[in-house]
Structure 1
Amino acid sequence: MDSVILKTAIRFLFPLLLLSSVFLFLRGHNEPGGGFVGGLVASGAIALYAMTHDVAAARRVLRVSPRVLIGSGLLTALCSGLAPLALGRPFLTGLWINVRSDGMGKIHLGTPLLFDLGVYCVVTGVSLVFVFSLLEE
């Protein structure tokens, strides 16, 4: 697609869409949102970039193969489920730790966030495999 308006708009929309994707991801394990919605927004941003430029440029921006994203996302989600087994708890039981940070105060991290990260990677990877294969035809 060779639209000057879309190419100009994507320069401003691309970072905003990725930022909103990260916001949805981080908000999701406590409120609506999460890995699935964040992954869809991220893949939508990269798909728009691929439509305005080309698939090769979008692959360079992504820096990693979508298939690698799928595999690493599945592995991350699996590890978040296996971590409680090491402590004698059931599969996918939530575990949390509190981390103190000078700038942000007390941060509450846990395995649900790790699971959401896996879902984020899988959804982004699967969506981009579909989009890239359709745009390359």
Structure 2
Amino acid sequence: MYTGIQHAHSGVAYLALAALIFVIFWALIGSLSGREFTEKDRKIALIGFILSHIQLLLGLILYFVSPVGFSLLTSGGAMSDAAARLTALEHPLINIIAIVLISLGYIRTKKLSNSRAKFRSVYMLYAVGLVLILSRIPWANWLG
């Protein structure tokens, strides 16, 4: 079970990152072109929203079933080792904050009335979320 969730978490990460990048550029182009924010635009933003939340759910499950997730934090000593601190604290915490920002970007589109403001909400908050996610990816583990 652990290995399957780990592979799913790594695989969905590619989809989520690609979707976030696509949504950011889609919203940026929509804002700069001055077009109306339509149902299609909302659904495109929803794709990034859903994939990032699936990634978060898989990550949280993995965090508690993994031998190097929550157990590292409770065993002590994780704060003195940079790799352990990244795995046990920084990666999950920063990614939760990133998903909250992405959620705010999507939710605000429902409340705003101006199309340009809706596009701006999506591309700005999704971009900040993406930067946070990219800053805390354990690149050595993921690519190697």
TM-score (norm 2): 0.40
